[in-house]
């Protein structure tokens, strides 16, 4: 299971991760995914697919950028960490055509970046070196879209970098720092890519 997210922003919708894509023979054979069309998913939560003004990819593994091509060829900016863009050029890292953001749309970031009022991208390395999360602030609430900073919500509670989520040993310390960084924001809510549980601030 992999979730994408949408920020219903006054300036237009901001999509965070686009899920698994369609019509890739290798992915279909290896994973036989049930793919929900992104435009349908947006309509399903009351967001006009035509209102999307930006895409953020937490990282470029195939299950997080699969429906990016829906937006390729237009003028919508796609925000990715520069290190992730480099990593995605390695063989077998991802599905290259899904991850290949056109140069005119690519916003390759080095660290944190505010991309709209109340919407800040945070560098949270761990699962990958170029992994990023999103902080949404508004109406006195702080919401973290933690993406794959953890696999399971319990790892967020325990501040644990599980080997399943962080297979590079040299990134485990960074992964724990990233979890602590997100928790230090004291979010009201935090959501993750692969777990349906929602972290809620206590008290
Ligand atoms: Zn991944």
DSSP 3-state percent helix, strand, coil across the chain (nearest 5): 30, 25, 45
State which H helix or E strand residue 156 sits in: helix 153-158
The CA 137 to ligand 1 mean position distance, Å, reads 25
What's the pLDDT score for residue 202?
85
H/E element, 65: helix 62-65
pLDDT tens for each residue of 107-133: 999 999 999 999 999 999 999 999 999
CA-based radius of gyration for the chain: 16
CA–centroid distance, 84 to ligand 1, in Å, is 11
Cα of 203 from ligand 1 centre, angstroms = 32
Q: Walk along the chain (203 residues) in steps of 10 and give the mean pLDDT of each run.
A: 96 97 92 94 97 98 97 96 97 96 98 98 98 96 98 96 94 98 97 96 82
The CA 9 to ligand 1 mean position distance, Å, reads: 26
- Those residues with Cβ within 8 angstroms of residue 75's Cβ, 6 or more apart along the chain or in another chain: 104, 105
- CA 194 to ligand 1 center in whole angstroms: 10
Q: What is the DSSP string of 71-104?
A: GTTSS--EEEEHHHHHHTTSTTSS-HHHH---TT
- Residues 5-37: tens digit of each pLDDT: 999 999 999 999 999 999 899 999 999 999 999
Distance (Å) from CA 18 to ligand 1 centroid: 12
CB 71 within 8 A of CB 52: yes
Q: 73 C-alpha vs ligand 1 centroid, how far in Å?
A: 25
SS3 assignment, position 105: coil
Distance 61 CA to ligand 1 centre (A): 5
Helix (H) or strand (E) holding 200: strand 199-200
């Amino acid at each position: 299971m992999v979730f994408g997210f949408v920020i219903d922003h006054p300036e237009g919708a901001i999509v965070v991760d686009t899920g698994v894509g369609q019509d890739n023979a290798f992915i279909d054979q290896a994973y036989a995914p049930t793919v929900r069309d992104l435009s349908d998913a947006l309509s399903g939560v009351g967001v006009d697919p035509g209102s999307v003004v930006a895409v953020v990819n937490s990282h470029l593994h195939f299950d997080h950028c699969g429906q990016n091509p829906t937006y390729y060829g237009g003028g919508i900016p796609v925000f990715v960490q520069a290190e992730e863009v480099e990593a995605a050029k390695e063989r077998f890292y991802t599905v290259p055509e899904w991850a290949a953001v056109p140069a005119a749309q690519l916003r390759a970031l080095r660290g944190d970046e505010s991309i709209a009022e109340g919407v800040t991208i945070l560098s949270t390395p761990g699962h990958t070196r170029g992994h990023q999360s999103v902080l949404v602030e508004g109406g006195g609430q702080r919401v973290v879209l933690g993406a794959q900073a953890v696999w399971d919500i319990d790892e967020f509670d325990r501040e644990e970098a599980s080997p399943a989520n962080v297979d590079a040993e040299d990134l485990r310390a960074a992964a724990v720092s990233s979890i602590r960084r997100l928790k230090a924001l004291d979010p009201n809510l935090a959501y993750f890519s692969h777990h349906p549980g929602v972290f809620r601030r206590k008290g």
